[in-house]
Amino acid sequence: MVEIKDYGEYKTAWCPGCGNFPLLNTVKKALVKRELEPHQVLFVAGIGQAAKTPHYLNANLFNGLHGRAIPVATGAKLTNPGLVVIAESGDGCIYSEGGNHFLTAIRRNIDITLLVHNNQVYGLTKGQASPTSDQGLITKAQPEGVQNSPFNPLAIAIAMHAGFVARGYVGLEDHLVEILVQAIGHRGFSLVDILQPCVSFNRVNTYQWYKDRCKPLLPSYDPTDWEAAIRLSQQWGDEIPVGVIYRNEKPSFEEHFSALRKGPLVGQELERGRLVKIMETYT
């Protein structure tokens, strides 16, 4: 029986009051709810304060390069589909540096869960705008206010008919745990964009700011309704819908590889007899 203490307690490098603290808690709770033991899970992280999260629980971990969590997670999942693979990093890592990989994960529908800590700012590098910063946000690096319109990950994912698209908020912990439980259980690519405050560098999108705006979806909401989902994805401002916004079932990427039908790649014996036959064709 897995318990939360199996996931350990670690000293962190985060600022007091950081949104990562409740977020880490929800991740542990979700893993326990899914009855997953630490060794059954592989976290793959990029670089940033968010990417440190998997260092602070017991699990397998590959902490890679900025922007590159998704490809590493993809390679790992293809090698051992038996592992529960969770890619976890921040909005800059996933939507900026790793933008191409984000799009491709959706297209592949690789069975990984992507947790994006979305605090609308770059925390570790001290306060530059991130791809999800609202227009007009003033930072040291963007002293005249952010000019670019923000990246809308939910809209992109839904437009591309991603299999599982959700948004959560760290201030609504139980709600977020439930989203994570579903996301991890979903077969195929799951995106959970997790709103959280950065108490050190984002003075606009604070706990209060999110509390006033985040509204859980009603139980009557049908996440398989694509048109409703794409409309919801455009909602941002006075009301920010949180919950599972869109889901659709389709084959996950690993399923189409004949090599994986006999089991994980790791541990498969080399079929020398077949290779001998292949060499013969070169005579």
Partner 1 sequence: MKRERNVKQKRKRKGMRDHPAEGRFVNILIGGEAGQGLQTAGAIFAKSLVRSGFSIHVTQTYESRVRGGHNTFSIRIGSEKVLAGQEAIDILIALNEETIDLHLKELTKHGLIIGDGEWKRKETNWIGLPFKEFREKTYWNTACIGVGAGLIGLDEQVVAKGIEDTFGKERSEENLKILKTSYHWLKEQAFEWKKLPDIPKPIKRLVMNGHEAIALGAISAGLKFCAFYPMSPSTSIAQTLIDYAKDMDLVIEQAEDEIAAINMAIGASFTGAPSLVPTSGGGFALMVEAVSLAAITETPVVIVIGQRPGPATGLATRTEQGELWFALNAGHGEFPRAIFAPGTIEECFYLTRKAFELAEKYQGPMFVLTDHFLADSYGDIEPIDVSTLSSVRPGGDPSSVKAPYLRYRITKNGISPRLLPGLSKHLVIADSHEHSEGGHLTENLSIRPKMVDKRLRKGDGIRSEVIPPDFQGDKKADILLISWGSTKGAVEEAAIQLRSEKKRVATLHFSQVWPLIPDQFTKHLEQSKQVICVEGNATGQLSQLIRRETGFVIKKRILRYDGLPITSQYILHHL
218 is a site residue for partner 1 (CB under 8 A)? no
Minimum CB separation of residue 264 from partner 1 in Å reads 8
Q: Could you tell me the smallest distance in angstroms from the CB atom of residue 132 to partner 1?
A: 21
**What is the distance between the alpha carbons of residues 266 and 222, in angstroms, rounded to a whole number?**
39
| Residue closer to partner 1, measured from CB, 3 or 144 | 3
Segment 8-27, which members bind partner 1 (CB under 8 A)?
A: none
Residues in the chain: 283
Q: Give the strand pairing for 113-118 and 84-90.
A: parallel
Kindly tell me which residue out of 28, 68, 186, 213 binds partner 1, with binding defined by CB under 8 A.
68
Contact call for residue 184 and partner 1 (CB under 8 A)? no
Stretch that binds partner 1, among 164-172, 206-214, 218-226, 263-271 (CB under 8 A): 263-271
Binding of residue 4 to partner 1 (CB under 8 A): no
Among 12, 79, 152, 206, binds partner 1 (CB under 8 A): 79
DSSP secondary structure letter of residue 237? S
217 by DSSP, 3-state: which?
A: coil
Applying CB under 8 A, the site for partner 1 has a residue count of 56
Smallest distance, partner 1 to C-beta of residue 12, A: 11
Count CA atoms within 13 Å of residue 112 on its CB side: 31
Closer residue to partner 1 (CB): 226 or 257: 257
Beta bridge partners of 90: 117
Among 58, 139, 182, 190, the residue binding partner 1 under the rule CB under 8 A is 58
Q: Which of residues 140-179 bind partner 1 (CB under 8 A)?
A: none
Helices 99-108 and 69-79 pack at an angle, to 10 degrees, of 30
Select from 62, 107, 103 the least CA-distant residue to 86: 62
Instruction: Identify the CA nearest to 189 among candidates 107, 260, 117.
Output: 107
Nearest approach, Cβ of 84 to partner 1 (angstroms)? 9
Residue from the set 18, 24, 42, 121 that interacts with partner 1 by CB under 8 A: 42
d(CA 249, CA 15): 39
Query: How would you class 218 by CB atoms within 10 Å of its CB: exposed for 0-12, middle for 13-18, buried for 19 or more?
Result: exposed
72 is a contact residue toward partner 1 (CB under 8 A): yes
The distance from CA 270 to its chain's CA centroid, rounded to whole angstroms, is 35
- How buried is residue 121: exposed, middle or buried, by Cβ count under 10 Å (0-12/13-18/19+)? buried
Among residues 49, 53, 74, 252, the one that binds partner 1 under rule CB under 8 A: 74
Chain residues in the site for partner 1 (CB under 8 A): 37-40, 42, 44, 47, 52, 55, 58-65, 68, 70-76, 78-80, 82-83, 100-101, 103-104, 257-260, 262, 264-268, 270-279, 282-283
